Structure 1
Amino acid sequence: MRSTPTTITIGLLAGAALAVAVPSLASAHVGVSPDEVVAGDHGVLTFSFSHGCETSPTTSLRITMPEGLASVAPTFDGDWTAEVERGDDGLVSAVTYTASSPVPIDLRGAVSMSVGLDESTPETLVFPVVQNCVEGSTEWTQIAEKGEDPHSLDAPAPVVHVAPAVEGGHATSGHETTDAGADAPAPDLTGTVLGAGGLVAGIAALVVAILAHRRRV
């Protein structure tokens, strides 16, 4: 069967649509922001998603808490209800957020919670998430092995890195700036003074030499 220009055009368009759709599906995941917190501090974590379970709207998110959190408090949101589960130690072990109405696959959904950390919090906090939909569910629970690219995983769990606390409550992240006038050492003026003295001495010697030359003449 001979291919016509119309057939070729349709094939190219279909291939282009597939090329666009595949990365879109591959990029679907549940993310967390911020992805770095400071040990001993507290803050608000936001878990967001922009796709359902393939083509099905999202109905709920069940987020399991990692060990090392001193406190967890779900954020009140009129679009979601929150059910809290606690362990034998009384700490929050999981939170299930249920949407007041299913979140369509072309809209972004987000839930948040306040968390507190202590000095013994591990360097990495992994939050396994089960995304339930009208039809089906997706378990975002995969953890990258050492040296493995997290983006290569099919269903990676949201991960938050914990920066060590330092005196003053700031992290040693390498992105901090210091007060220019606080702890900066006083500039060493010795070189400047010696340089100025040398310049004056040189000028004086030049003047003496010129005067001596004139007297000879």
Structure 2
Amino acid sequence: MRLEHVSHQFDGQLVLNDINLHVSPGECIAIVGPSGSGKSTLLYILGLLRKPDQGTFSMNEQDVFDLDEEKRRLLRLHEVGFVFQQAHLIPYLTVLEQLDLIQENKDADAKQLLVKLGLEHRLHHLPTTLSGGEKQRVAVARALINSPQLILADEPTASLDYENGRRVMELLSQQAHREGRSVVVITHDERMLDVCDRVLRVIDGTLTEVNS
């Protein structure tokens, strides 16, 4: 996926300024930066939740901003997986039911995915019985169940201790490296950056690479 010359304003203020970003399949990148720097706006654009004022966003060699809203909605549904700071699990559904609810390809093995994430002993438990790390791993599984091309994670470790946060970040990195997905993580936790292939920083709406 590729962003080229993307700029966006709010109330006349430039929030993103000529952003260029290419994330290859099999690559996990981290985006860091202070609050108000434009990270969230960038994530909304990548998630097809906002259309920028200028620039192009290509997935599968197609500019998604040329699509109508319904086609963008379907692309978002099928090709983008979201992991947020809070798991936002449905309280009356078990772990396995959380995935069954949104699973489109019924041939996909939701149970096997949960086993890979170390949740084999929690398949039939409700969210109230799960630890914070377990809830977030369920959220990762939910983001993966429909095999999206792009995974976007917004501060996925913010509510976790170091050990559980590390496990979630390693899971996301593995999805890039083993499954060939493009993974973009917004984070403030610099202890987690070493599991990513690249780190980029947003400052005052501009994007620069920190290291490789």
TM-score by length of 1: 0.22
* Structure with the higher strand share, 1 or 2: 1
TM-score by length of 2: 0.22
Larger Rg: 1
Could you say which structure has the greater relative contact order, defined with CA pairs below 8 angstroms and 6 or more residues apart?
2
* Structure with the higher helix share, 1 or 2: 2
